[in-house]
Chains A and B, each alone.
Chain A
Amino acid sequence: MDSIFFYRNSATAPADGPLAGLKIAVQPTVSVAGWPADAGSKALANFTALEDATVVSRLVQSGAFICGSTLGSEFGFGLAESRAGEAVKHNIAAAELMLDMMGESRLAACGAGVCGFKPSYGLVSHFGLIGLIPSLEVCGLLAGSCQTIRHLLRALAGPDDKDFSLPDEKPGEFYAPAPEPSKTTIGVIAEAQSALPDAEKSKFHASVAALQKAGFAVREVSFPDWPLFLPVHKIVGSVEASSAAGRYDSVRYGERAPGARNWNEMYLASRGAAFGTLLKSFLIQGAYFQFQRYDAYENACRIRARLVADMKKLTDAVDFLVLPVSGGASEERPRTLDETYGRFAATAFANVTGQPALVLPPASAAEAPFQLVGPRLGDAALLALGDFLLSVREKGK
């Protein structure tokens, strides 16, 4: 099973603090001082992290043991070459930390049959995360239970003097009481299921029916602009990525292509050789919007603000939302940018809006994994809901 690891920690675990003894795997997009941190890209070959990511230092301070770095896809974008989720699935680690750019942590959790959580934007520090899309990506968590995720978040969340993009206010204790089903409304976004094949749709409906059976008030809600989430993510994300990847020039680390006669040729040849095809198409798309269609980028930003506001209205009207995880695309190993986005069609919206999203494994083969979503910074209540649903299942057995 060692093949899922890119690097393993040979140190012994200290055990003091609330997370003592908890083994946690990270993806190579998460910096651990002294560890190779190539973010899954040749562009970072031989790069050793100089500092711990804040997520790492906070977990270690709480007594957790970072057991190793698992193989990931390039810069954590998509899941093509990723082995994320397997360490938790096989009980090698109690939890795993990975970037969630458009739903990676949620889909990886789905594949592994565990819980996956994308925290609200602004809750967890970005410091030391080697990503591509700062305004969309956050550190996602995978674990066997919602309780474990809540324990981890208690250690992770809150202001960081290394990341000024977080709000100054310290979030609460990450405890919310279990929801009272009869007083809790869960909205089902009609448009989010439209791309699902019939078989998946009926499984998702079975999952929703289980919520009703548990006593929740479930009602269908509409989000007419749902189809805009993906194009907004594609444009904003690729533009940010095009800038963010500008620093990977193979000068100080990374593989340098031979034969260049000057620095300009060296940049071009090295960048051409370093990035994989999927990433290159993403970066070229971003460069296109940066250089040729800046107006489209500005429109995407404006539409994003509107989507955020509309989603806020929706989460004001209901307590939680439930959505499928699957984007409806059949490719397990997508090759193109479009196929990749197709897999994340049901998850990318939460990266656009910054709201928290929790994926729970299905209760049975007749159901589908599903996402529960709350308002931004409503993370604790969302995890309490997840915990409640899992305990209902346990009692039902």
Chain B
Amino acid sequence: MDFEAVIGLEIHIELNCKTKMFCDCPNRPGDDPNLNTCPTCLWLPGAIPRFSAEALEKASLLCLGLGAELQPQSAFDQKVYYYPDLPKGYQLSQAHRPLSRGGGIDITDEDGNLKRLRIHHIHMEEDVAKLVHELEGRVPISLVDFNRAGSPLVEIVTEPDLRTPHHAMEFLKALRTQVRYVGSSECSMENGSMRVDANISVRPRGTSQMNTKVEVKNMNSVRHVGDAIAYEISRQSQAVQAGEAVVLHTRLWDPDKKVTLPMRGKFEGPCVPDPMVPVIELSPAFIEEMRSRLPEMPAARAERFVNDYRLTGEEAAFLSADPDVAGFFEALVKKGVAPRTAMHWLATQLIPAVKERRLELGASRVTPERLAALLALLAKDEINANAAREVLAHLFESDETPEAIVNARGFRQVSDAGALAAMIDRVLAAQSAAVADFRAGQGKALGFLIGQVMQSSGGKANPKIIRELLTKKLG
């Protein structure tokens, strides 16, 4: 029997707020254990949650960035469960009245068609404490770190619109890009600021029933999400074919063995409205203010790049996927660099060089101004491309202008026909075999001769002029 999967994702995203969601403690979970705590996030008797305005703004921007509709009223509920990572016995989460409804992401499916994956709703919730399990001698102990308790999260719940691992991976990549764009989170699955749970069920292809789903957790990269879903689809399909029932439960992805393993029965505690966090009422003015803060989103930006700069769709998509890259690109163009040159240098030179040095694009010595100055020298033929690449390396090391580096290190291109003609004569005299090859019609011998002249110039000769002079002399 041919099966298809029905997949929904639940994605937790840590908002990059300065403080926690209900107190003023720094939102820095990675600090020394239990450093960022207070009576409120430790939930000592008498504490009262104070909802953070920054969390509301970052969450609202995120919702708008995903095309979701902010609700005029939303509210926090108590999600009741008892576990040591949650010392007050309930998690504050918007179970009944979420911050936004609707929205979605367009992806390109396996056949190259545009597919809309809808979002059901997005709600806010607090993170819980982190449990660390260790051995003290031979006694197993569990330690609780409250630094993360109360960190602001949003949870994005999709409609069960996804059918394949590809859909899930494309959704997550696009989601990450869009959330980074609005600046609400770094969305790194590797360091846990984006956590993905997948709900998966299977059914015979062509039918429309919703079967019992299984939740899969513990994937810490987009690739793992794809692998885990693929594994789970095949596991469930085989089980159904063998006549076994799929039971509602949670499984963990084991990235080493590349399998999902059962974890625990799913406990759904009750959710009751929290009596202390006031109902959140968003005025039309607030929603408008948030909308005005929304940057140009990647799809719109890519379209503009194609129209304004005559880039290909692929080039435009590459540039606009990362807001820093897109910004750098536009800054270069503004400084007079030809769009295609700017695109080419970013993609093939600057981004690899920044990565190699483990820097951030926006935080290296190579600013758009300095790179634009370098590319201007290239455009005016004062240096050649080889020299430009070398000057770029120097730009990472010092604050000198490209011009100064070119002058100080003799990168200026030799375009003087007299000096070049003398060099060419010497090369032609020494390479009679290649000259003969060329005259015999072997075109590639010209390239060899150009290389020889370039070498004897120490790489500074203007290759265009060498080619002209050589062709003339040999012609």
CA distance A180 to B449 in the complex (A): 114
Q: Is B84 engaged at the interface, CB distance under 8 Å to the other chain? A: yes
In the complex, the answer to whether A246 meets B82 with C-beta atoms within 8 Å is yes
Q: Does A251 contact B (CB under 8 A)?
A: yes
Q: Which of A160-168, A181-189, A217-225 contacts B (4 or more CB under 8 A)?
A: A160-168
Distance (whole angstroms) from the CB of A304 to the closest CB of chain B: 12
A163 touches B48 (CB 8 A): yes
The answer on a CB contact under 8 Å between A51 and B39 is: yes
Would A37 and B272 be within 8 Å (CB), given that A164-B51, A246-B80, A246-B82 are in contact? no
**Number of chain A residues whose Cβ lies closer than 8 Å to a Cβ of chain B:** 39
Contact of B45 among A130, A165, A246, A301 (CB under 8 A): A130
Does A51 lie within 8 Å of B46, measured CB to CB? yes
Asked if B89 and A165 sit within 8 Å, CB to CB, the answer is: no
Q: Which of B187-195, B275-283, B305-313, B333-341 contacts A (4 or more CB under 8 A)?
A: B275-283
A50–B44 Cα distance when bound, in Å, is: 9
A177 to B39, CA, bound (A): 42
Q: Would you call A165 and B88 a contact (CB within 8 A)? A: no
Question: Quick one: which of A243, A264, A291 has the most chain B CB within 10 A?
Answer: A243
Q: Is the CB of A49 within 8 A of B48?
A: no
Q: B55: shortest Cβ distance to chain A, in Å?
A: 13
| A31: nearest chain-B partner, CB-CB | B46
Checking B43, B49, B142, B278 against A247 with a beta-carbon cut-off of 8 angstroms, the contacting residue is: B43
Do the beta carbons of B45 and A267 come within 8 Å of each other?
Answer: no
Judge whether B223 is part of the interface by a CB distance below 8 angstroms: no
Q: Which residues of chain B have C-beta atoms less than 8 A from A130's C-beta?
A: 45-46
Across the interface, do A243 and B84 meet the contact criterion of CB distance under 8 Å?
no
Q: Which of B33-64 contact A (CB under 8 A)?
A: 39, 42-46, 48-51
CB pair A162–B50 under 8 Å, yes or no, is: yes
Bound together, the chains give a CA A64 to CA B52 distance in angstroms of 33
Contacting pair B46 A129 (CB below 8 A): yes
Q: Are A128 and B46 in contact, CB atoms less than 8 angstroms apart?
A: yes
Contacts A37-B45, A243-B78, A246-B89: A50 and B276 contacting too (C-beta < 8 A)? Answer: no
Quick one: given A126-B48, A290-B80, are A249 and B272 in contact (CB under 8 Å)? no
Give complex CA distance A240, B82 in Å: 16
Q: In the complex the two chains form, is A165's CB within 8 Å of B39's CB? A: no
What's the minimum C-beta distance from B200 to chain A, rounded to whole angstroms?
A: 28
Chain B: how many interface residues by the 8 Å CB criterion? 27
Cβ proximity bits A40-79 to B, threshold 8 Å, 1 near / 0 not: 0000100101110100000000000000000000000000
Asked if residues A164 and B90 are in contact (CB atoms below 8 Å), the reply is no
Interface string of B263-293 (1 = CB under 8 A from A): 0000001101101111000000000000000
B87 interface contact, C-beta 8 A: yes
Looking at the assembled complex, report how far the CB atom of B273 sits from the nearest CB atom of chain A, in whole angstroms: 8
B93 to chain A, nearest CB (A): 13
Give min CB distance, B38 to chain A, whole Å.
9
A175 interfacial contact with B, CB 8 Å = no
In the bound complex, residues from chain A placing their C-beta under 8 Å from that of B90 are 243, 246
Q: Which residues of A contact B80 (CB under 8 A)?
A: 243, 246, 290
Proximity string of chain B (430-453) to chain A, C-beta cutoff 8 Å, 1 when within and 0 when not: 000000000000000000000000
Of the candidates A53, A240, A245, A294, the one whose C-beta lies within 8 Å of that of B46 is A53
- Residue among A44, A49, A252, A291 making CB contact with B270, cutoff 8 Å: A291
Q: Chain B residues with Cβ under 8 A from A133's Cβ?
A: 275
CB distance from B369 to the nearest CB of A (A): 45
When distances are taken between beta carbons in the complex, the residues of chain B under 8 Å from A349 are: none
The interface of chain A, by Cβ under 8 A from chain B, is 31, 37, 39, 44, 47, 49-51, 53, 126-130, 133-135, 161-165, 239-240, 243, 245-247, 249, 251-252, 263-264, 267, 290-291, 294, 297, 301
Question: Which B residues fall within an 8 A CB radius of A?
Answer: 39, 42-46, 48-51, 78, 80, 82, 84, 87-90, 142, 269-270, 272-273, 275-278
Other than A162-B50, A165-B48, A263-B84, give 18 A-B pairs with Cβ distance below 8 A: A31-B46, A37-B46, A39-B45, A44-B45, A47-B44, A53-B46, A129-B46, A163-B48, A164-B50, A164-B277, A164-B278, A240-B275, A245-B89, A246-B82, A249-B82, A263-B142, A290-B80, A291-B269
List 27 contacting pairs A-B, 8 Å CB cutoff, sorted by A.
Answer: A31-B45, A31-B46, A39-B45, A49-B45, A50-B39, A51-B46, A126-B48, A134-B275, A134-B276, A164-B50, A164-B51, A239-B272, A240-B275, A243-B78, A243-B80, A246-B82, A246-B90, A247-B43, A249-B82, A251-B87, A252-B42, A263-B84, A263-B142, A290-B270, A290-B272, A291-B270, A294-B270
